[in-house]
């Protein structure tokens, strides 16, 4: 019979064993990325992300399945917001924290969460989903949250008694474009003119913009980027999740080759950068940082340069991350995201079930409205 273990960190499992389950398409669930978060002090007990990774080992001693799992003392860095649930439960006299979170910290990217080695017996993913719920029950936490899983994984978790929640993000799809102008030709005249005007405005500012990949990204780039990242976070009254050390560890890791950094200079001095990761035919826009507010530079560095890169490298899509309805007018379309939530107490579970049902109707209606008002030419 397979055995289930709880690990205290990525250091407790060989990278080859974890990655045999995670696969190579999504860099964020790789051993290298998760280890960089932990080893850099970004995702640790001190920051409210205590690793409790779940691992299923077969009789042959090989890891059959695993899941990135954390014991959380807050709800920061998740991007599927449950603050209202926590507040309501605590007002009712309950204790919401700690809770269990199956996720990639600080990373609102859809990808596998139930990581299963190819060739394992059928139903191993369902067994892993069941083990997550059983662990939550055994630890007597208020809840278990699996955020940004695939739709198929959300189905499995729903079958294990989790409530399913619907959200959306904005993604750009490559419809076989040969150039950026080819993409522009697919847009309405109004949107096409808007984008050209924005790109021309950036070009007129005398900026030098380069797209750096893998080993082209040096420590000096990360030094400046992290300063910019902290400046943007500070302007938004937040706290930076990622330490400076994280980026060094990321570059030195097995997925360092997948880093794509849009680098902006003015008068030979860095002024902004946009951090992306590449994997499985997708460019994932992650974090933006700037030392100064320059007109339309955010759109150029985060969106248009991402499309340039995706087209040039024949990638299928660009995922631009959380929030931002302004992305729709620039060719990004709403795409459903999923999460699954196991709630221990029946009273809270019933209240959350009603809330997510209402929210689902609103999300579907909003996505339909945005799709209808999209930027593409009507045939």
Per-residue pLDDT at 1 exceeds 80: no
For 6-33, how does the pLDDT look when each residue is reduced to its tens digit (9 = 90+)? 999 999 999 999 999 999 999 999 999 9
* 217, burial (CB in 10 Å: exposed 0-12, middle 13-18, buried 19+): buried
Of the CA atoms within 13 Å of residue 379, those in its CB half-sphere come to 1
Question: What pLDDT, on the 0 to 100 scale, is given for residue 129?
Answer: 97
For 206-232, how does the pLDDT look when each residue is reduced to its tens digit (9 = 90+)? 999 999 999 999 999 999 999 999 988
DSSP state of 45: G
Nearest CA-CA partner of 153 in 111, 103, 107, 108? 111
H/E element holding 289? Answer: strand 282-290
Question: What pLDDT, on the 0 to 100 scale, is given for residue 2?
Answer: 83
Per-residue pLDDT at 234 exceeds 80: no
Average pLDDT over all residues of the chain: 95
Question: What domains, with CATH codes, occur in the chain?
Answer: 3-168+336-372 (3.40.630.30), 175-315 (3.40.630.30)
Nearest CA-CA partner of 53 in 1, 114, 120, 107? 114
Q: Which distant-in-sequence residues (6+ apart) come within 8 Å of 44 by Cβ? A: 38, 50, 51
For 177-190, how does the pLDDT look when each residue is reduced to its tens digit (9 = 90+)? 999 999 999 999 99
Q: What is the spatial distance between Cα 103 and Cα 339, in angstroms, rounded to a whole number?
A: 10
Question: What pLDDT, on the 0 to 100 scale, is given for residue 237?
Answer: 59
Q: What is the spatial distance between Cα 82 and Cα 336, in angstroms, rounded to a whole number?
A: 18
Q: What is the spatial distance between Cα 50 and Cα 278, in angstroms, rounded to a whole number?
A: 27
CB 264 within 8 A of CB 273: yes
Sign, CA torsion 174/180/181/184: positive
Per-residue pLDDT at 164 exceeds 90: yes
Question: What pLDDT, on the 0 to 100 scale, is given for residue 236?
Answer: 63
For 73-114, how does the pLDDT look when each residue is reduced to its tens digit (9 = 90+)? 999 999 999 999 999 999 999 999 999 999 999 999 999 999
Per-residue pLDDT at 50 exceeds 90: yes
Question: What pLDDT, on the 0 to 100 scale, is given for residue 365?
Answer: 95
Q: Which of 33-42, 302-311, 316-325 has the lowest mean pLDDT?
A: 316-325
CB 66 within 8 A of CB 56: yes
DSSP state of 345: S
For residue 338, give the 3-state DSSP assignment: strand
For 260-311, how does the pLDDT look when each residue is reduced to its tens digit (9 = 90+)? 999 999 999 999 999 999 999 999 999 999 988 899 999 999 999 999 999 9
For residue 13, give the 3-state DSSP assignment: coil
Q: What is the spatial distance between Cα 231 and Cα 210, in angstroms, rounded to a whole number?
A: 21
């Amino acid at each position: 019979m397979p055995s289930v273990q709880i690990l205290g960190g990525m250091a407790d499992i060989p990278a080859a064993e974890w990655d045999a389950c995670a696969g190579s398409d999504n860099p964020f669930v790789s051993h290298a990325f998760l280890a960089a978060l932990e080893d850099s002090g970004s995702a640790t007990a001190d920051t409210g992300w205590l690793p409790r990774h779940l691992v299923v080992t077969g009789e042959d001693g090989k890891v059959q399945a695993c899941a990135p799992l954390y014991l959380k003392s807050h709800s920061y860095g998740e991007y599927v917001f449950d603050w209202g649930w926590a507040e309501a439960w605590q007002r009712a006299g309950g204790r919401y924290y700690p809770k269990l979170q199956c996720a990639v910290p600080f990373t609102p990217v859809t990808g596998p969460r139930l990581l299963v080695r190819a060739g394992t017996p059928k139903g191993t993913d369902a067994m892993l989903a069941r083990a997550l719920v059983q662990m939550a029950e055994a630890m007597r936490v208020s809840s278990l949250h699996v955020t940004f899983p695939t739709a198929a994984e959300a189905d499995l978790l729903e079958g294990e008694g989790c409530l399913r929640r619907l959200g959306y993000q904005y993604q750009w799809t490559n419809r076989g474009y040969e150039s950026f102008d080819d993409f522009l030709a697919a847009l309405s005249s109004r949107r096409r003119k808007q984008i050209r005007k924005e790109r021309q405005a950036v070009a007129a500012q005398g900026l030098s913009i380069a797209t750096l990949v893998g080993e082209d990204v040096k420590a000096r780039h990360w030094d400046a980027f992290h300063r910019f990242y902290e400046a943007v976070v500070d302007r938004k009254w937040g706290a930076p999740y990622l330490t400076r050390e994280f980026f060094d560890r990321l570059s030195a890791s097995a997925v360092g080759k997948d880093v794509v950094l849009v680098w902006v200079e003015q008068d030979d001095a860095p002024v902004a950068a946009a951090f992306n990761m590449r994997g499985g035919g997708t460019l994932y826009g992650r974090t933006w940082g700037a030392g100064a507010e320059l007109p339309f530079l955010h759109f150029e560095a985060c969106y248009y340069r991402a499309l340039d890169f995706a087209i040039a490298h024949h990638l299928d899509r660009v995922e631009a991350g959380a929030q931002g309805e302004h992305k729709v007018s620039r060719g990004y379309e709403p795409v459903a995201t999923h999460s699954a939530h196991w709630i221990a107490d029946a009273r809270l579970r019933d209240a959350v079930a009603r809330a997510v049902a209402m929210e689902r109707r609103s999300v579907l209606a909003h996505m339909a409205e945005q799709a209808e008002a999209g930027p593409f030419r009507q045939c």
